[in-house]
Structure 1
Amino acid sequence: MKTLSKLAPTAVLSALRDFMRVEAAGGILLMAAAAAALLVANSPFADGYFAAKASYIGPLTLSYWINDGLMALFFLLVGLEIKREFIEGQLSTASSRILPALAAGGGVAVPAIVYLLIAGGDPALARGWAIPAATDIAFALGILALLGSRAPVSLKVLLTAIAVIDDLVAVAIIAVFFTEDLSLLPLGIGIAGVIFLAVLNRSGVRSLWIYGLIGLGVWAAVLLSGVHATLAGVAVALTIPLSPAARRNADAVTTKAVEDVSPLHRLEHGLHPWIAFGVIPLFGFFNAGVALGGMSPASLASPLPLGIALGLVVGKQIGIFGAIFAAVRAGLAPLPEGASWMQIYGLSLLCGIGFTMSLFIGGLAFPDPATLDMVRIGVLSGSIVAALAGYVVLRFAKDRTALH
């Protein structure tokens, strides 16, 4: 039987364009939310802002509900995107995975090395090595959206593919390095729930309500187990059915038709605007705010924020550009269609925008409020420099067609 991507390439490409458009618009909103957080945290409204974060809603604080509850929905979307890209999207073939996989690998390893060279001398800070390893796809695509036609589509596709693999690595890092004090009984219940969902998938059950209700139970069990609750979102996402039961009349397949018959497409399509325009800006607003009044220039240049910032700005561009250059020169993969080396360099800079995932990992690595403020300074400063530098390079870079 033919794969869906072969049956409906137009639908898959249309879905990719829709994805990038929503991510780009959400990224611009995320920038505004981060800026608003910094303004409020350094304004007369600061006391109310910090009090709201610590206020209780039921058994948990507002920050906890956002970071462990709503962000589970973000990770659910991440899992859906990873599954879709690897089955029918830009990463569905071995050859299409080579360049983004090598780039993502370099973009994780080199920033971690840069961070450890600067901050790793202090054993208490060494656990932050993964903070500069992630790319914020929404923020980066938002910058590309501001560039319009100056950024070729192939560049946006490569950025999306790198970020998808980057997210997969970040999920693995969270699972392996930030899981402590396991409670086996709730963990076993959570695993059993995921296995049951996988059985439902194999049995042809396609009702999203069933997956949602059981998935909520999985989230609660994982929350109680000591494993970070957001990982439940990824695990549940991988059980959502993607391949339609009936893939007939292939020539008539459209984006809407694919969404109608595939539970994964329906769920991703339904969740995406809520995540991009609600959850992520909310997370950014309540996690980017840091009071700068009591900070000296020396504290801002201390090993923790400096290691994070340089990991994002220097490590990302070296790791990603170096990996892409080596892969193309070695003949392992071609340069993206129409893109010049200067545009690849600009993309490598944009991948240094860590923000959402970097702030998230930073909160896991350093829960202490004072240390977390230093993390925020490092993530914000590094992401801003990477965004501005990437924008300037891509603003004036020419594609290969303009160079001939």
Structure 2
Amino acid sequence: MASPLPQIDQRPVRKLVEPLLRFVRLESAGSIVLLLATIAAVVMANSSFAPKYFAWLEYPVGFSAGASLFQWPVHLWVNDALMAVFFLSVGLEVKRELRVGELTSVRRAMLPVLAALGGVAMPATLYLVLNHGGAGASGWGVPIATDIAFSLAVLAAFGSRIPVGLKIFLVTLAIVDDIGGVIVIATVYTHKLHPSYLALAVLVFFLCLVMNRLGVTQLTAYLLAGIAMWWAMYQSGVHATLAGVLLAMAIPVRIFIPPDALLTRGRNRFDEFERSVEQEGPLSRDARHHLHMIRFGLDLSESPLDRLQGILHPWVSFVIMPLFAFTNAGIPFGEAHETGFFRDPIFYGIVLGLVLGKPVGITLFSWLAVRLRLADLPHGIGWKQLHAVSWLGGIGFTISIFIAGLAFPTGEQYTMARLAVLLASVCAAALGTLLVAMTCRQSVAATEEG
């Protein structure tokens, strides 16, 4: 009988790693890192490090293939390449909600869907009223988005005092908001099209759908196809990040081994693995084969969509979104004061759209949906609570800044739009937090009286 492998004392490693793991498991951890990256960018852009910060944004990074050299500045790699992975993550969440989440039931989905519609229509209308016929009219898409990470982080701070139905309402609203943002990016901010490359991107997308239909579960195959689709989309003139959303729609959401079959096969494989270890040792060929088959069975018992979400989540939350914030939130405040940004209709159109248009639109359309009997308020939730959460919809940040980069071709307008989004998001977060805290206090008081 082969001797067992010696046990390794992992306590010192666990002591070092456990605090980091506890932080990563926090519901708001990604938002904390995102906030720190935003603050770092603002500080860098308004300090003696500003020249180095802006030089880093323009630093060329690339690779060579034979005689060809492909280079982009850092900010383009972040905004056009890494953000495609972010939109892939958004697309996976959207597809999951459509197949197994809140959006599967028309009746349950109607309230957040119509609320999101109001949260898109009202800010856009308010912005256009202030900028109609002006130089900034194309920026109406900037105030329509809701940053799901920041808005949920605010709710997470209240813990169990927030009804589950209210969290679900905000999550679903933000996801529908993301869908609206993607549609706007694809239809409004695509200018010059190259049909041949667009056709190639569509062809790759259909290839991914065929792989899904044939039961292909290897994520590598989809990701390689996604890279090809991203390149074709970039060449076509449509913003390349939309390749991430299309790829997400092609990732299988079904499982290929049901739980009962997994348990039966798993027990048999574990028995065979145990016999191989006893007879030949844990590093034998048979033992490693059984381990491989156990791992393969576990992969098939979880949908490829869920597996990919699990892989992407830490990278998106702790790397891509903070990098995007650090790259795009560096706004020199001195320039804003000198050029009179605060008097420009672009600036206050975005601020009013997010801070005022969002909560008014969400609340008004929710009220109309209930009044017209198209939807019902979630159980245990009153209008005061829903209205309080609607203010968190004004936290635009990530996608709002992203759309601003597409809407405004000049550096001055882009800087103005980013500053407006930053200010509006802070105001919306502060007001939303205050109103949610007040409704929580009133709810607790009513419970105690009852």
TM-score (norm 1): 0.90
Match of 1:129 in 2: 140
| CA distance in 1: counterparts of 2:300 and 2:412, whole angstroms | 46
- Identity among equivalent positions (%) equals 44
Work out which of the residue numbers 17, 30, 36 in structure 1 matches 2:34. 30
Matching residue's letter, 1:212: L
Deviation digits for residues 287-346 of structure 1 (CA, Å, limit 9, x no counterpart): 011101133384223111100000001100110011112222333222222223222111
| Mapping 1:363-378, distance limit 5 Å | 363-378=405-420
**1:142/1:257 CA distance change after superposition, 3 Å:** farther
Match of 1:195 in 2: 206
Work out which of the residue numbers 394, 417, 424 in structure 2 matches 1:382. 424
CA shift, 1:150, in A, is 2.9
Match of 2:43 in 1: 39
Which stretch shows the higher mean deviation, 268-277 or 321-330? Answer: 321-330
SS in 2 for 1:246: coil
| Mapping 1:4-403, distance limit 5 Å | 24-58=28-62, 59-122=71-134, 124-247=135-258, 249=260, 260-296=301-337, 298-398=340-440, 403=446
| CA distance in 2: counterparts of 1:22 and 1:240, whole angstroms | 27
CA shift, 1:120, in A, is 2.1
SS in 1 for 2:333: coil
Does the CA-based 8 Å contact 2:258-2:301 persist in structure 1? Answer: no
Q: Report the aligned-residue RMSD.
A: 2.1
Total equivalences in the alignment: 381
| CA distance in 2: counterparts of 1:161 and 1:386, whole angstroms | 19
| CA distance in 1: counterparts of 2:26 and 2:366, whole angstroms | 27
Match of 2:17 in 1: none
| CA distance in 2: counterparts of 1:146 and 1:355, whole angstroms | 19
Match of 1:7 in 2: none
Does the CA-based 8 Å contact 1:109-1:133 persist in structure 2? Answer: yes
CA shift, 1:258, in A, is 8.6
Match of 1:8 in 2: none
CA shift, 1:64, in A, is 0.3
**1:110/1:258 CA distance change after superposition, 3 Å:** farther
Deviation digits for residues 215-262 of structure 1 (CA, Å, limit 9, x no counterpart): 11111111111110000000011000111133353998xxx9698421
CA shift, 1:214, in A, is 1.1
| CA distance in 2: counterparts of 1:402 and 1:74, whole angstroms | 41
Does the CA-based 8 Å contact 1:23-1:276 persist in structure 2? Answer: no
| CA distance in 1: counterparts of 2:424 and 2:25, whole angstroms | 25
CA shift, 1:400, in A, is 5.4
SS in 2 for 1:60: strand
CA shift, 1:147, in A, is 2.2
| CA distance in 2: counterparts of 1:333 and 1:401, whole angstroms | 27
Does the CA-based 8 Å contact 2:58-2:75 persist in structure 1? Answer: yes
SS in 2 for 1:181: coil
Unmatched 5+ stretches in structure 2: 1-23, 63-70, 264-296
| CA distance in 2: counterparts of 1:22 and 1:259, whole angstroms | 28
CA shift, 1:24, in A, is 3.0
SS in 2 for 1:129: helix
CA shift, 1:129, in A, is 0.5
SS in 1 for 2:209: helix
SS in 2 for 1:261: coil
| CA distance in 2: counterparts of 1:319 and 1:305, whole angstroms | 20
Match of 1:15 in 2: none
Matching residue's letter, 2:159: G
Unmatched 5+ stretches in structure 1: 1-19
| CA distance in 2: counterparts of 1:270 and 1:28, whole angstroms | 20
Which stretch shows the higher mean deviation, 180-189 or 281-290? Answer: 180-189
| CA distance in 1: counterparts of 2:112 and 2:412, whole angstroms | 36
**1:259/1:385 CA distance change after superposition, 3 Å:** farther
Matching residue's letter, 2:437: R
TM-score (norm 2): 0.81
